[in-house]
Structure 1
Amino acid sequence: MLQYFGDMGNSLIKAAALDFGAQWACWAVAAALRTEKFYDLAGSGTFFLLAWQSLKWGNTFHPRQRVATGMVMAWACRLGMYLFTRILKDGKDRRFNNVRDKPGVFLAYWTIQGVWVMSTLLPVLMLNSKKEDKPVSTRDYIGWALWALGFFFEAVGDYQKSAFRANPDNAGMFIQHGLWSLCRHPNYFGEILMWTGLYITSSKALSGFEHISIISPIFLSFLLTQVSGIPLLEKYASKKWGSNPQYQLYVKNTAKLVPYIW
């Protein structure tokens, strides 16, 4: 039993070392170049790397482990490339306007990204360290279905917004069609669904204190709804279109996050 907990602990320590080591190494380069252009790509890449490495460290490759790891890697590839191509096109990320020239503050952003990666990926890291297997059950199918629905909302929402912004006729306007007619942040709704689904499927193989990994969807939801996601975008949108009657009507009649509910 002690060896079992030691294996999981060693896996988590190695994952944390790789996670923060990658963030701080990227910060050193980004600070020297005074650029944030690969910030999101580095975050997504770390998810991909840790998911794959944790599966290799566990060396069991149970079906549930392979599926969960594959889901993380698919999500990381899509989101990372989407965000990287977007910032290359835009030229900058306004989140970093006041920090890219301040190395100490910039380091805090990279460190927070490390915390985000580690806490969000925790259920999969724990799952991949498990030696024993449990049969795939209804809980897994529910988790996988939530992940698939979330992936759809995030990927399609991002595509619809990119296509909208690429159309010169929409210059200075806000998107309110497609998934964006169901809620004002369908991509964030999708991301929360995905990580909730990954916790649900991982929880089938977890026990006792390991269920602390529920912090993954909870912490992610807190970040997106209270810190760096929705609050910043809502503030920016209100400043830009707040006096527009159409935008006021859109906000009044469209759910913020959960379609038709909130």
Structure 2
Amino acid sequence: MLGAALVDFGIQLVGWAAAATLRTEKFYDILGSAAFATTAALTLGTSAMMPRQKLASALAMAWTARLGIFLGARAHRDGGDSRFDGVKDKPGVFAVYWFLQGVWVWVTSLPVYLLNGSPGQLVDLNAVDWTLAAFWAFGFVFEVVADVQKFAFKSDKSNKGKYIKHGLWSLSRHPNYFGEICMWFGVAGIACNGLAASNPGRAAGAFASPLFVTYLLTKMSGIPILERMADERWGKDEGYQSYKRKTPVLVPKLPGT
């Protein structure tokens, strides 16, 4: 875990130095994804590479690859990232953003680090692992579909100034975040299943990841900011108010309800 932290924050430091010099945010999401993939591969490469370690690492890296592609496409479409307006010209403040990204990478990937760095774990995959992998796949598909739907919606110039309320967005106001939370609970569950018998403390520690992701998305940088921005933009729109009343903020409702 220490090695993963050194690599993770090393990537953030180099990224910040280059981005602050060039006054650009274009490296931010790319290097965040690179930190996820690099640390997962690093910890797997120094482990015994048992089936469960390979499974958890592969799931984490699959999510990372998807995230990097999506964020790169979004940045290309939008021509920048409004999160960094007024920040990228201030190296000290900009450094905080990079440091926080390092924390996000390390805590979120904790189940993978714990699993890859723990000897004496359960070796063979079982039905619990495959059930959790299926749960991860459900979350992955849910997030991908939600992101694709929103990307297509915002890419259509006729939708400029409108809010999305169709597809998965008719079931939840933030279906992409719901999918992401499901994925990390799946990865944490796989780590816990492998570690519970030999190291219950580490098994429990794996759940710091999905709990952190849930808190981050529901209380800090995700939903609160987006909900506030939406209220400022469409708060007086009766259609939007009706959408808010009928659509759960995170956990999807059943279709047709």
TM-score (norm: length of structure 1): 0.92
The Cα RMSD (Å) is: 1.3
Which letter does structure 2 place at the counterpart of 1:209?
Answer: G
Overall identity of the aligned pairs, in %: 47
Determine the structure 1 residue equivalent to 2:213.
220
CA contact (8 A) 2:36 2:105 kept: yes
- Cα separation, 2, equivalents of 1:76 and 1:176: 27
Greater mean alpha carbon deviation, residues 157-166 or residues 124-133: 124-133
Which letter does structure 2 place at the counterpart of 1:215?
Answer: A
Structure 2 residue corresponding to 1:57, chosen from 23, 46, 52: 46
Count of residue pairs brought into register by the alignment: 249
Which letter does structure 2 place at the counterpart of 1:111?
Answer: F
Determine the structure 2 residue equivalent to 1:107.
95
Greater mean alpha carbon deviation, residues 170-179 or residues 252-261: 252-261
Determine the structure 2 residue equivalent to 1:5.
none
Structure 2 residue corresponding to 1:235, chosen from 228, 238, 244: 228
Q: Say whether 1:75 aligns with 2:63.
A: yes
CA contact (8 A) 2:40 2:61 kept: yes
- Cα separation, 1, equivalents of 2:151 and 2:242: 23
- Cα separation, 2, equivalents of 1:41 and 1:257: 26
- Cα separation, 2, equivalents of 1:99 and 1:201: 39
Deviation at residue 88 of structure 1 after TM alignment: 1.9
Q: Say whether 1:245 aligns with 2:233.
A: no
What SS class does the counterpart of residue 135 from structure 1 fall into? coil
Deviation at residue 141 of structure 1 after TM alignment: 2.1
- Cα separation, 2, equivalents of 1:82 and 1:226: 23
CA contact (8 A) 2:40 2:113 kept: yes
Q: Which 4+ runs in 1 deviate beyond 3 A?
A: none
1:112-261 alignment, distance < 5 Å: 112-132=100-120, 133-206=122-195, 207-210=199-202, 211-260=204-253
CA contact (8 A) 2:51 2:123 kept: no
Deviation at residue 137 of structure 1 after TM alignment: 2.3
- Cα separation, 2, equivalents of 1:67 and 1:217: 17
Determine the structure 2 residue equivalent to 1:86.
74
Greater mean alpha carbon deviation, residues 192-201 or residues 165-174: 165-174
- Unaligned runs of 5+ residues in structure 1 are 1-11
TM-score (norm: length of structure 2): 0.93
- Cα separation, 1, equivalents of 2:76 and 2:5: 29
CA contact (8 A) 1:144 1:197 kept: yes
What SS class does the counterpart of residue 24 from structure 1 fall into? helix
Deviation at residue 84 of structure 1 after TM alignment: 1.3
- Cα separation, 2, equivalents of 1:34 and 1:242: 34
Deviations 1:199-237 (A, max 9, x none): 001101222321222110011111100110111111111
Structure 2 residue corresponding to 1:98, chosen from 81, 86, 98: 86
CA contact (8 A) 1:140 1:201 kept: yes
Which letter does structure 2 place at the counterpart of 1:226?
Answer: K
